[in-house]
């Protein structure tokens, strides 16, 4: 069995040395056993489909290599912004246990050389490596505003040398940096109403099925011209019509349209809202124009007939593969929650950067961390997540904990992409964002016990020109379980521990080994200090901070989620968490669910995912949501909006925790499949990774737990199954096998398997 130590995995991800690469243009291997298969899913600088071209946000069917200079100026495409980009692909599946042995990349500046597989710009030669994601470019710096073509050929241990991939053209941006995040342009697509209802002689209601950010295009007829019709759009209904006075920041707009004689098409573009188009807001690009979130449209003061093709909603999103992910189970409520949250990730991508919702349209770390994880779970391309992470490193927000979340976001980015460049470029900023400079004599950090946070030196170090303060949850009061704020805050210090842990991993990955050892010692000492100061041995739970005996859900879920709870204390903390229910916001629910699944509390976690009281995702559905809310209910946040992706935690919790598919080394070189399906009888899921899709099919009866799993090529998976409370027999593909030691009595370890399809069963022993 191959060793899967972290160091070995990182060595695989390292750039090949010159000694490993041949500069000869010859084929990697003369044996073409896998000639029917070729690398697919090509990524240029983490971007898929870099060749695609759009005009006004709509696909043109053109490719960047076919554009004239004039057309380049009037089109949008994924302009590559790095002069030294990376390349990635999905290794062809040539049967069970397929691993890549070598690759060869050619890069040309013209199609003829590319078709002939001549890398006149760069030929990597034969590189003996398993690396198929974030492969670094090794030639001279690319030039701005230029067209390039690349292709890759791989050798696998099961199929020999395969065919060359398709040729992927791309254009570079007008200005290049050695490293800068690349991304695709925002796009539009046309939606037609799923339901049209005539409300009265002059009013027609159109229901598009679910909300999105968009504008309208209506084709209307006037016999004489000059008459005015009104077009209303909104997110909510009341008494059979669009609610024209919705609560909070739920949207409603009404626009007059003066008709011309005859039949004409009118673009109804939402007006600018001063609250969400200010200096801090992310603005829509001019080629798309302003958008608003809405599901419903009413055409008023119009007597003509309206069919489905007459009124089109032009929905804006980041490019999404809607077929990349799938989930279904025998629990209809869970399925509805999954689809609500999956779609929320897609719908709120309209701004190209993760934002907080329509009220402000400002990126915040707490929104981004949930949006990022959800995006990883529902699509394979993560360039928008990278762009959002980089944006927040330059534009942090005020909450103490969210300043430190930058490290979680950055580490997630590396874990899912395998691309180290962002951490490498921003390491010093990330180190400052741990807030280690705020550590006091008692060993804990505090924003309130000193004046350092108000100094220019501190503010420059974290790139924030203002005061930071502790937040715990939002909004305070209704969603923080009556948390008592003290100088030494339990939640703040839990985030500090997690940030320092991740900084240590980053240092080790970057080769800063001495620094990594110092950080490891720091974390060990800090963990002891944290528990000595904040854990109440009398109650077996954590206090909100030093100087108070108050206990809250939050003071316990964050230590659990971040691995601070000693093993012997874990059950007491879990029991207290269960006693508090969902006494937190939709944001903190992410960490609550993470902690519960880490503690193997699958039954209670499933209960929280599917319950239907006010603090639930089903309450959002009951209220008419098609995109997740900013809060569980208007009663908890009267000014909430209905399009907040930070309410979509199940988008990642269901595939990554309940289905249990998660990367364990960068770029999913190794993954874990650890289903925690609790009482569910049947589950199917497709979970995308950057190396390909993991397919899962689970049947759970009283006597047998059956897992069918397909692992993509060039990936290895550690399989863990829920341990039953009876004597059992473990089988793989029908053959009895001996369980491996897992270190967790809640699971049976069936070992580590390479790519391919397997069936594992846990059967009641006779």
The predicted-structure confidence for 605-626, as pLDDT tens digits, reads as follows 999 999 999 999 999 999 999 9
**Domain final residue, candidates 317, 335, 358:** 317
Query: What pLDDT, in 10s, does the model give residues 16-36?
Result: 333 333 333 333 333 444 445
The DSSP-derived string for 661-715 is EEESSGGGSEEEE----TT-SEEEEEEEETTEEEEEEEEE-SSEEEEEEEEPTT-
Which DSSP state fits 18? G
At 102, which CATH number? Answer: 2.60.40.10
| Amino acid 743: pLDDT | 80
Could you give the C-alpha distances from 89 to 132, 166, 612, 717, in angstroms and in order?
6, 11, 42, 19
State the Rg of the chain over Cα.
27
Assigned token pair, 274: 């001063």
Q: Is the distance from CB of 724 to CB of 676 less than 8 angstroms?
A: no
pLDDT exceeds cutoff 60 at 430: yes
CATH number of the domain encompassing residue 276:
2.60.120.260
At 761, is the pLDDT very low, low, confident or very high (cuts 50, 70, 90)?
Answer: very high
Could you tell me if 107 and 230 lie in one domain? no
Question: Does residue 468 contact residue 399 with C-beta atoms inside 8 Å?
Answer: yes
CA distance linking residue 668 with residue 16, whole number of Å = 19
The pLDDT tens digits of the residues spanning 314-330 come to 999 999 999 999 999 99
Structural domain includes residue 252: yes
Q: To the nearest whole percent, how much of the chain has pLDDT over 90? A: 92
The answer to whether residue 580 scores a pLDDT higher than 50 is yes
pLDDT given for residue 741 in this prediction: 83
Q: What is the pLDDT of residues 511-543, one digit of tens each?
A: 999 999 999 999 999 999 999 999 999 999 999
For residue 735, give the CATH number of its domain.
Answer: 2.60.420.10
Residues 514 and 442 in one domain: yes
Task: Verify that 168 and 95 share a domain, yes or no.
Answer: yes
Range of the domain at 705: 668-764
Higher pLDDT: 450 or 480? It is: 480
Let me know if residue 710 belongs to a domain.
yes
Domain contains 718: yes
Q: Is the pLDDT of residue 664 over 80?
A: yes
Q: What is the mean pLDDT of the chain?
A: 94
pLDDT on residue 48: 97
Quickly state the pLDDT bin for 702 (edges 50, 70, 90).
confident
Q: Average the pLDDT over each of 383-387, 660-664, 701-705 and give the range with the smallest value.
A: 701-705
Tell me, yes or no, whether 134 and 163 share the same domain. yes
User: What is the pLDDT at residue 46?
Assistant: 98
Residues of the chain with pLDDT > 70: what percent?
95
Q: Is 117 left (phi over 0), alpha (psi -120 to 50) or beta?
A: left
Question: Which of helix, strand or coil describes residue 458?
Answer: helix
Domain count, the chain: 4
Count CA within 13 A, CB hemisphere, residue 646: 26
Q: What is the pLDDT of residue 14?
A: 35
**Residue 507 and residue 575 in one domain:** yes
Q: Is the pLDDT of residue 240 over 60?
A: yes
CA distance 682 to 672: 20
Residues ≥6 apart with Cβ < 8 Å to 617: 337, 340, 341, 609, 628, 647, 650
Do 150 and 204 lie in a common domain?
no
Specify if 218 maps to a domain.
Answer: yes
Question: Domain check: are 528 and 468 in the same one?
Answer: yes
The verdict on residue 508 lying in a domain is: yes
Write phi, then psi, for 345 (nearest 5 degrees). -65, -45
Task: Give the mean pLDDT of 61-66.
Answer: 96
> Residue 453 in 3-state DSSP?
helix
**Two tokens at 368?**
């981004």
Of the chain, the end-to-end C-alpha distance in Å amounts to: 31
Per-residue pLDDT for 5 more than 80? Answer: no
404 and 476 fall within a common domain: yes
Q: Is residue 165 part of a domain?
A: yes
Distance CA 236, CA 240 (A): 10
Q: Is the pLDDT of residue 766 over 90?
A: no
Coil, helix or strand for 172?
A: strand
Do the domain assignments include residue 497?
Answer: yes
pLDDT higher than threshold 60 for residue 12: no
- On whether both 258 and 283 belong to a single domain, the answer is yes
Domain edge (last residue) among 555, 582, 609: 582
Cross-strand partners of 676: none
User: CATH number, domain at 560?
Assistant: 1.50.10.10
Relative to beta strand 135-136, strand 100-108 is: unpaired
Does some domain include residue 150? yes
Co-location of 542 and 678 in the same domain: no
Examine the domain organization and report whether 512 and 459 are in the same domain: yes
Q: Are residues 465 and 576 in the same domain?
A: yes
pLDDT at 36: 57
What is d(CA 296, CA 299) in angstroms, rounded to the nearest whole number? 10
Domain end (from 157, 177, 197):
177
């Amino acid at each position: 069995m191959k060793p899967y130590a972290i160091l070995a995995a990182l060595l695989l991800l390292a750039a090949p040395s010159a000694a490993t690469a041949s500069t000869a243009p010859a084929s990697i291997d003369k044996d073409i056993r896998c000639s029917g298969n070729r690398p697919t899913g090509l990524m240029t600088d983490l971007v898929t489909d870099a060749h695609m071209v759009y005009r006004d946000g709509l696909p043109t069917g053109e490719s960047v290599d076919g554009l004239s200079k004039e057309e380049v100026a009037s089109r949008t495409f994924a302009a590559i912004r790095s002069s030294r980009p990376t390349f990635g692909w999905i290794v062809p599946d040539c049967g069970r246990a397929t691993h890549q042995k070598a690759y060869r990349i050619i890069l040309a500046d013209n199609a003829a050389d590319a078709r002939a597989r001549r890398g006149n710009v760069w030929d990597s030669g034969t590189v003996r490596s398993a690396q198929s994601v974030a492969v670094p470019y090794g030639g001279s710096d690319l030039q701005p505003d230029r067209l390039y073509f690349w292709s890759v050929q791989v050798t696998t241990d099961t199929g020999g040398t395969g065919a060359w991939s398709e040729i992927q053209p791309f254009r570079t941006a007008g200005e290049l940096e050695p490293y800068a995040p690349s991304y695709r342009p925002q796009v539009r697509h046309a939606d037609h109403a799923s339901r049209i209802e005539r409300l009265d002689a002059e009013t027609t209601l159109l229901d598009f099925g679910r909300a999105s950010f968009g504008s309208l295009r209506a084709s209307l007829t006037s016999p004489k011209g000059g008459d005015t019709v009104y077009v209303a759009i909104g997110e909510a209904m009341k008494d059979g019509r669009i609610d024209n006075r919705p609560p909070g920041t739920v949207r409603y707009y009404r626009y007059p349209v003066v008709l011309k004689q005859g039949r004409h098409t009118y673009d109804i573009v939402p007006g600018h809202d001063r609250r969400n188009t200010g200096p801090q807001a992310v603005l829509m690009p001019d080629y798309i124009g302003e958008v608003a979130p809405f599901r419903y449209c009413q055409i008023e003061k119009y007597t003509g007939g309206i069919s489905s093709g007459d009124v089109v909603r032009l929905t804006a999103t980041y490019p999404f593969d809607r077929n990349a992910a799938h989930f279904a189970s025998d629990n209809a409520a869970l399925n509805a929650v999954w689809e609500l949250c999956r779609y929320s990730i897609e719908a709120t991508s309209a701004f190209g950067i993760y934002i907080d919702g329509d009220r402000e349209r400002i990126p915040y770390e707490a929104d981004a961390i949930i949006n990022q994880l959800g995006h990883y779970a529902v699509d394979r391309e993560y360039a928008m997540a990278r762009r959002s992470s980089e944006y927040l490193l330059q534009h942090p927000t005020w909450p103490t904990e969210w300043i430190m979340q930058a490290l979680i976001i950055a580490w997630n980015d590396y874990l899912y992409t395998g691309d180290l460049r962002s951490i490498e470029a921003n390491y010093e900023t990330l180190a400052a964002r741990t807030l280690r400079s705020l550590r006091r004599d008692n060993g804990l950090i505090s924003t309130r016990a000193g004046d350092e946070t108000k100094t220019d030196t501190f503010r420059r170090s974290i790139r924030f020109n203002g005061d930071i303060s502790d937040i715990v949850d939002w909004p305070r009061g209704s969603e923080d379980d009556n948390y008592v704020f003290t100088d030494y805050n339990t939640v703040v210090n839990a985030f500090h521990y997690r940030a320092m842990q991740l900084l240590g991993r980053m240092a080790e990955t970057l080769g800063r080994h001495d620094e990594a050892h110092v950080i490891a010692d720091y974390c060990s000492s800090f963990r002891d200090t944290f528990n000595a100061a904040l854990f109440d041995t009398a109650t077996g739970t954590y206090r909100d901070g030093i100087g108070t005996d108050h206990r809250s859900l939050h003071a316990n879920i964050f230590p659990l989620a971040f691995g601070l709870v000693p093993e012997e204390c874990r059950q007491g903390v879990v029991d207290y968490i269960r006693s508090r229910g969902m006494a937190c916001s939709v944001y903190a629910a992410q960490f609550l669910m993470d902690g519960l699944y880490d503690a193997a509390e699958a039954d209670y976690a499933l209960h929280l995912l599917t319950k239907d009281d006010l603090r639930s995702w089903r309450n959002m559905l009951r209220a008419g949501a098609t995109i997740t809310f900013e809060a569980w209910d208007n009663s908890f946040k009267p000014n909430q909006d209905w399009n907040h992706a930070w309410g979509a935690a199940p988008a990642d919790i269901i595939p990554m925790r309940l289905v249990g598919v998660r990367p364990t080394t960068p770029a999913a070189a190794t993954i874990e499949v650890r289903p925690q399906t609790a009482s569910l009888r049947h589950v199917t899921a497709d979970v995308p990774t950057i190396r390909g899709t993991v397919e899962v099919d689970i049947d759970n009866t009283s006597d047998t737990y059956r897992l069918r799993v397909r692992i993509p090529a060039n990936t290895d998976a550690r399989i863990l199954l829920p341990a039953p409370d009876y004597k059992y027999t473990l089988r793989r593909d029908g053959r009895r096998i001996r369980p491996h030691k897992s270190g967790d009595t809640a699971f049976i370890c069936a070992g580590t398997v390479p790519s391919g399809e397997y069936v594992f069963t846990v059967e009641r022993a006779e």
